[in-house]
Amino acid sequence: MACVRLAFLDQPRPIAFAHRGGAAHRPENSWPAFEHAVGLGYTYLETDARATADGVLVGFHDRTLDRVTDARGKVSALRYRDVAAARIGGTEPIPLIEDLLGAWPGARFNIDLKDTGAIGPLAQVLRRTAAWDRVCITSFSARRLRAARRLLDRPVCMALSPAGITAMRLAGPHPVRRFGQVLAGRLALLGVGCAQVPARIATAAFLHGAHALGLQVHVWTLNRRHEMERALGLGADGIMTDEIAMLRALLTERGQWQPGPREAGGAG
């Protein structure tokens, strides 16, 4: 069965994702990180979404500012003016999701919903930017994914929920035989086009089962060459990495690198 047809996933595979913008090279989820990834030719950028106390959506991974910035406090408990004053690594401002979408109209963003409070602001951002086909929403919470699906004005690409991944693992390489053909149609109606999983889950059996349901499999977060090679050898449809220069070099060697709009145009 062919993979679910979603605009977000319509590029040749394997897809290269710059995890948190490519955190091995620049401060994670910072403007320099995303700029570097785009300069290398990356089309797919992975980031995280959290909302401030006053409902502003920022690209930030942790619950608190403490680990990666020069400030402290829980993001969801702080007003945006306070979060905006924090500096990643002491130098870089925390970007707004809306600004990231606007900065690179040709880029696609894999957005990990980190808290329930981010769902409403994300829907508002997508309405203002009309970036429906340029995002894929994922989360470690099935409840968040369901809430986002209810709130969005139109379908967007979504990753399989944790519960769905567990069911896939139990089904083994033949989920259609176990769950019936109707499941593939149900996933398509929900906009579920991919399963995003760590390497330990991305076995040959899991990939076979996901592909049987029309789902791409994206493996995270692979930062060593042999891990990338293994996933590609198994037939992974995408790889998320902090080591974006390494992944680009490997895919180039294999004749599988797909340059983004900037690189194809001769820049970067």
d(CA 250, CA 230): 12
What residue numbers bound the domain in which 126 lies?
14-61+95-258
d(CA 230, CA 245): 18
Any domain includes 209 = yes
Nearest Cα to 111, choosing from 168, 40, 57? 57
d(CA 251, CA 268): 17
Any domain includes 107 = yes
Any domain includes 109 = yes
Amino acid symbol at 30: S
Contacts of 16 (CB under 8 A, 6+ apart): 42, 43, 44, 238, 239, 241, 244, 247, 248, 251, 257, 258
**Alpha helices (H) in the chain, listed in sequence order:** 31-40, 80-85, 97-103, 119-129, 142-151, 162-171, 175-179, 182-190, 204-212, 225-234, 244-253, 261-264
d(CA 85, CA 61): 17
Tokens 């019936």, residue located: 180
Tokens 């493996």, residue located: 219
Q: Which residues are catalytic?
A: 19, 61
Tokens 């994300």, residue located: 122
Any domain includes 188 = yes
Residue 177 pLDDT: 64
Any domain includes 69 = no
| CATH, residue 112 | 3.20.20.190
Per-residue pLDDT of the chain (268 residues; tens, 9 = 90+): 444 468 999 999 999 999 999 999 999 999 999 999 999 999 999 999 999 999 999 999 999 999 999 999 999 999 999 999 999 999 999 999 999 999 999 999 999 999 999 999 999 999 999 999 999 999 999 999 999 999 998 889 999 999 989 988 887 777 766 665 556 667 877 889 999 999 999 999 999 999 988 899 999 999 999 999 999 999 999 999 999 999 999 999 999 998 876 554 333 3
Any domain includes 171 = yes
Any domain includes 90 = no
Q: What is the pTM of this model?
A: 0.93
Residue 261 pLDDT: 61
Any domain includes 253 = yes
Residue 178 pLDDT: 62
Residue 186 pLDDT: 72
Number of domains in the chain: 1
Strands 216-220 and 192-198: parallel
Cα→Cα distances 202→184, 206, 209, 212, 238, Å: 19, 6, 11, 14, 11
